[in-house]
Amino acid sequence: MLSDSSFGDVAKILNITQEIDDQLQLEVLMDAASILIGTCLTGIGLQLDLSLRQGQPIVLGQHRNVSELITANLTKWRRSLAIELSYGIEGYDVQCDLILLFTEDSMAIMNKKLAHLLEDEDREYNIHMWNDFMESHSGLNAADAKGQSLFSVNPSINAAWFAQKTKAVFDLNVRSFMTWEQRPYLFKFANYRPITGTEDFMYQNVSISPLTSATGAVDYISMMIYDTTDKAAAKKQLEALQVHVDEANELR
């Protein structure tokens, strides 16, 4: 959403010098929407490790209140998840609101797309959620995993090390990260492409995020795992090739 008062400065940013009538305003709105929506979707996709596709923007209305636009769709949606991001552009009188609306029939797809989200844990590191991704790769179903300690489900994780790794997440409300170069994996899962794959297990990057309560306290943490096996294998092959080239050069 772009406020009517912002069109003049948006036109300046887009280097449009003509007088803004309704037709040109529509063109400015479409161009600005393409840039802003594309940028936001790219950022969100990078955070979720997803490739989000952008379609052609559709103008729902001009010079109308938000409530009117939402009311017009009440017959289509029984429920919707709304995420609103408000921002401005420094040095310009531009106020924008990005509203992400997820209809109820899209939530199942969204949950599938967020299969990287592994589990929620409390300060005792008990598992509260174990999704399809974890069931598939660990062989442990959600009913059996729920309520168990992370360390009993995965004894290979050093409890003292993991507590130190997550201390800042709980205490400072910041994210923590692990890469496959630091340690190949947190959960030792088999490579899901045993025929075409060259590695015996799944290399992983891991992101640990705080989950805050209504009081602002971090009561739980969430982990996201990224399969980086292809990236790791490619880097190892490149390094092996470099060693071979160096040895060949030494023999000359």
Sequence spans of domains, the chain: 4-110, 115-239
3-class state of residue 95 by DSSP: strand
Residue listed under structure tokens 């790219």: 42
pTM of the predicted structure, to 2 decimals: 0.49
Q: What pLDDT, on the 0 to 100 scale, is given for residue 66? A: 63
Q: List the end-to-end C-alpha distance of the chain, in Å, as a whole number.
A: 66
What amino acid occupies position 113?
K
pLDDT at 208 over 70: yes
pLDDT band at 237 (very low <50, low <70, confident <90, very high): confident
CB atoms within 10 A of CB 33: 19
Which CATH architecture group holds 115-239?
A: 2-Layer Sandwich (3.30)
Find the helix or strand (DSSP H, E) in which 248 lies.
helix 229-251
CB atoms within 10 A of CB 168: 14
pLDDT band at 151 (very low <50, low <70, confident <90, very high): very high
How far is residue 108 from each of residues 7, 87, 104, 127, 172, measured CA to CA in Å?
37, 29, 8, 22, 33
